[in-house]
Homo-oligomer: A and B are copies of this chain.
Amino acid sequence: MTANSKEAILAAAKQSAQAHGYGGLNFRDLASEVGIKAASIYHHFPSKADLGVAVARRYWEDTKEDLDNLREADDPSSALRQYPGIFRRSLENANKLCLCSFMSAEYDDLPEPVKKEVQTFADVNVAWLSKELTAAGVVPAKKSEERARAIFAAVAGAQLMARSRSDIALFDTLIECYRAAGLLPA
């Protein structure tokens, strides 16, 4: 074992939750991947709900960092152009789904604090998109949040559909079609 167990658990849980959801997360498989026993996980996370919260929070934190890096590296138009790439990378990574899309599906069965983190993921994406859309002059400031939400929902939907076909090219076609139709800036 290289790093500390807590980080290793978090990383493994993130991968598993993106493939199998919160319900599909199980401590025994998780532990064996990390090289400890299931009971040991409880030393780091007092319950499954706590692990779920930690994974979802880390997930949006990582995404926020990716988004901020995009913003710093490029002008708003280019940054917006690269936004779908974040969802594409999940598909590239063993056809994985956005953790928060999966958890949105599972919403009824999620512990309350996990729900909050899922919503924060959406909020982070919408806020970033909204700011870039305004900065790029795509839509007036008054309409930017609404458009941001539409883009977020559509890109998540494209990822979901592409995953169900294990077809990254389909994802690319869908994004191109969003651009051609006018939902995403060309």
The answer to whether A149 touches B177 (Cβ under 8 A) is: yes
A20 within 8 A of B: yes
Report the stretch among A3-11, A70-78, A105-113 that lies at the interface.
Answer: A105-113
The bracket for how many chain A residues form the interface is 35 or more
Q: Tell me if A38 counts as interface (CB < 8 A to partner B).
A: no
Q: How many copies does the complex hold?
A: 2
Which residues of the partner chain B approach A182 to less than 8 Å between Cβ atoms? Answer: 181-183
A95, B122: Cβ atoms closer than 8 Å: no
- Cα A150 to Cα B109 in complex, Å, equals 29
Q: Which residue of A119, A122, A164 has the most chain B CB atoms within 10 A of its CB atom?
A: A164
Determine if A104 and B154 form an interchain contact, defined as CB atoms under 8 angstroms apart: no
Residue of B nearest to A173 (CB): B146
Does A160 lie within 8 Å of B150, measured CB to CB?
no
Residues 109-142 of chain A, each 1 if its beta carbon lies under 8 Å from chain B, else 0: 1000001001100100000000000000000000
Does A161 lie at the interface of the complex (its beta carbon under 8 Å from any beta carbon of B)?
Answer: yes
Kindly state whether residue A24 has any CB partner on chain B within 8 Å: yes
Quick one: which of A151-167 are within 8 Å of B by CB? 152-158, 160-161, 163-166
Given A106-B21, A173-B146, are A153 and B157 also a contact pair (CB < 8 Å)?
Answer: yes
Contact yes or no, A154 B170, CB < 8 A: no
14 A-B pairs with CB atoms under 8 Å apart are A21-B23, A95-B108, A105-B105, A105-B106, A107-B166, A122-B161, A146-B173, A149-B161, A150-B158, A152-B161, A153-B154, A153-B158, A154-B183, A157-B160
